[in-house]
Amino acid sequence: MSDVVAASAGQRIYLDKQTPDAYRAFVRAAQTVRTAADTAGLDRILVELVNLRVSQLNGCAYCLDTHTRAALAAGETPRRLGVLAAWRDTALFTPRERAALALAEATTHPAEADAQERAYAEAREVLDDAELSAVVWGAIAINAFNRVSILSKHPVRPS
């Protein structure tokens, strides 16, 4: 680790604490997204799978910890959580979950236009408009929280 990197690592601020009004606005937006997911009929496990997959792609340890616990509390199995990073290579996920995961990945990496088109087309086959919108908004929300936590270096504390 270079001296500059080592020095800056100790100077990180918690963005949520430094600018609490902006963070509270994000939390309110996330609550609206959660309500939209509930209204659309998306179950909590599917929502948490989206949160986890996006957090895996972004490498956000804090959000991975938070949403792993939430997924388990919602009834998700450790087995499925263990293979989530390779969801395409297993039959453990339903067509709806697979469509939501592909859409979440496409939302996280929007510059990959071909993958985005495929994910959207697959999602249209198994998700209605409200469900599709809720998945995309959920992926957008967790992407934002990932960035806050990563740039703030929010720690994962022992239980």
Q: Is residue 10 very low, low, confident or very high in pLDDT (cuts 50, 70, 90)?
A: low
Closest CA to 96 of 40, 31, 29: 40
Please answer whether residues 120 and 19 qualify as being in contact, where contact means their C-beta atoms are separated by less than 8 angstroms: no
What value does the mean pLDDT take over residues 27-35? Answer: 98
Give Cα 90 distance to the centre of its chain.
20
pLDDT of residue 159: 79
Task: Look up the pTM and report it.
Answer: 0.92
For residues 76-113, b (16+ Cβ closer than 10 Å) or e, as one string? Answer: beeebbeebeebeeeeebeebbbbbbbbbbbbbeeeee
Task: Tell the burial category of 34 from Cβ atoms under 10 Å away from its Cβ (0-12, 13-18, 19+).
Answer: middle
Please answer whether residues 130 and 40 qualify as being in contact, where contact means their C-beta atoms are separated by less than 8 angstroms: yes
What is the average pLDDT score of the chain?
94
Measured between alpha carbons, how far apart are the two ends of the chain, in Å?
A: 29
Give Cα 138 distance to the centre of its chain.
7
Which two structure tokens, joined as six digits, stand for 44? Answer: 């909590």
pLDDT in tens, 58-112: 999 999 999 999 999 999 999 999 999 999 999 999 999 999 999 999 999 999 8
